Amino acid sequence: MSEYQLTTAILSYSEAKTWEEAKEEWALNNIYMSETLMICLCGHYPIKEICVLQNKVNANQVEVGNCCVKNFLGVSYDLLFVGLKKVMNNINAAFNKAVLCYVKQQGWIDNWEYDFYGNTLLKRKLSEKQRAKRCQINARVLKFFSKEKGVNK
């Protein structure tokens, strides 16, 4: 794994000419769990926890691993991936608060669903209707996280 390789790759997709300036051009666009093993821009293999970054200046997109995003943007998305994996392994389980806030921010759930999920998040026993609604929301949200989006490379 090479920070130099990541820096070089990011600079090639950026308008800025220095690393410090280039870092300011990028923001998280999406995350997903890859169904296939991928290679990060830094050269690390294998990765499955993919963060899609978008350049705010030229709209270029790149996909990097969760660890590189932490080093690059200074933000960890570990809690999102933990919550995501939990529901991927058990559709009846509840997403954690990090996932719930992220999907609300993305517009993947509406206010009612957000409130419903928040109100039932810590409940151990749900009614049949509540369990069915949670599973419905989980299934729809998982589609967003598993959808591998193409990037401009």
Question: What are the structural domain ranges in the chain?
Answer: 3-75, 79-146
DSSP string computed for 68-119? HHHHHHS---HHHHHHHHHHHH-TTSPPPHHHHHHHHHHTSS-HHHHHHHHH
What pLDDT band is residue 45 in, cutting at 50, 70 and 90? Answer: very high
Let me know: does 47 contact 40? Beta carbons within 8 Å.
yes
CA distances from 136 to 39, 108, 146 (A): 32, 13, 16
pLDDT exceeds 70 at position 151: no
Collect all residues with Cβ–Cβ distance below 8 Å to 134 and sequence separation of at least 6. 92, 94, 117, 120, 126
Q: Is the pLDDT of residue 59 over 60?
A: yes
Predicted pLDDT at 2: 66
**Mean pLDDT score, 33-54:** 92
- Contact in structure between 148 and 35 (CB atoms under 8 Å): yes
93 falls in which pLDDT band (50, 70, 90)? very high
- pLDDT value at position 49? 92
| Dihedral (Cα; 18, 24, 25, 27), 10-degree rounding | 140
Question: Is residue 66 over pLDDT 70?
Answer: yes
